[in-house]
Amino acid sequence: MVTVGTWNLENLFRPGQDGGPDSDREYQAKLDSLAKTITSIAPDVLAVQEVGDPEALADLVGKLDGDWHTELAEPDGRGIRVGFCSRHALGDVEQVTDFPDQLQPVQTTDDGEPVQAMSRPALQASVDLDSGGVTFLTCHLKSKLLTFPGGRFNPRDEDERARYAVYALNRRAAEAATVRTHATALLDGNGQDRALIVLGDLNDTQHAATTSLLHGPPGSEIGTPGFDRADQGDGARLWNLAEHIPADQRHSRTYNGRAELIDHILVSHQLVERVTEVGTVDIGATSVGDQPRQRRNEPASDHRPVIATF
């Protein structure tokens, strides 16, 4: 049995850093809370998001039993990044940053330069397990939380809000396409034989266009009549395991009182029929709103981990 998971750790910074807790007391409480959850999950490989200081991830891993291997991507402008914590050695590590060549630059502000790359690079890594090699690709797509010039979370007027909502959506779509393009290259039409897991904070629900874009060829999704029938798309397709999560667990964050699943695990054909269990872990996270800085001293993440066993 192999257990993998994805978890947004919510601004894992050391004290004194922007976004970090006010004091070492709050910081240690957060590390203890995160470590307790990871220990209870006992993952073989855990994709993580919103890691600030690399030293903070080292502090967290230092509270876990046994030997762990870690890799991190480069940070975004806010200083957060994605990465992996693994019981197994990590190889074939590669960042995924630039949009596909054919994709035009995307506008992200009223008057700034369009962007041609992911704000937070995705990260690829491979592990060798008893059952064979598995390649992982983790990402943290553009947030649905809108930010406005000057670091504001509130728009000046409704027109500004509407424009910046479009900018965020277009950027998230371009980032999803970038991850999908890299996954397509990794699968190379051989998903029946290549074990690939794409996982992370996609910042939208399982049926959203940006999330569905990652599936690849349409049809044959879990829960559809064509799921157990082979077709020509199987070699390139990814299956979102969301439908395997029990309905009462099928959320990873609560936003303004509304539970939603925005953290996902997608797998290639080689793995989709080897899944034995998928779920989220209730860590007592409370609802979040549009002022994220108010949570800087909270001991728990605002996301539930999403876990799958094969």
Per CATH, the homologous superfamily of domain 3-309 is: Endonuclease/exonuclease/phosphatase (3.60.10.10)
Residue 158 pLDDT grade (very low, low, confident, very high; cuts 50, 70, 90):
very high
Helical axes 54-61 vs 24-41, angle rounded to 10°: 60
Q: Which of 247, 254, 309, 257 is CA-nearest to residue 283?
A: 254
The CA distance from 200 to 179, in Å, is: 11
Kindly tell me if the per-residue pLDDT of 294 is higher than 80: no
The CA distance from 293 to 310, in Å, is: 37
Assigned token pair, 277: 């269990």
Residue type, 103: L
Q: Where are the domains of the chain?
A: 3-309
Assigned token pair, 172: 């998230």
The pLDDT score that the predictor gives to residue 50 is 97
Kindly tell me if the per-residue pLDDT of 297 is higher than 80: yes
The CA distance from 66 to 16, in Å, is: 29
Element (H, E) at 171: helix 158-187
Q: Which of 76, 131, 114, 106 is CA-nearest to residue 270?
A: 131
For 38-90, write each residue's pLDDT tens digit.
Answer: 999 999 999 999 999 999 999 999 999 999 999 999 999 999 999 999 999 99
The pLDDT score that the predictor gives to residue 228 is 86
Assigned token pair, 84: 């992996």
Strand partners, 137: 124, 198
The CA distance from 67 to 188, in Å, is: 33
Q: Which of 2, 13, 166 is CA-nearest to residue 78?
A: 13
Sign (positive or negative) of CA dihedral 92, 35, 251, 20: negative
User: Mean pLDDT, the chain, as a whole number?
Assistant: 95
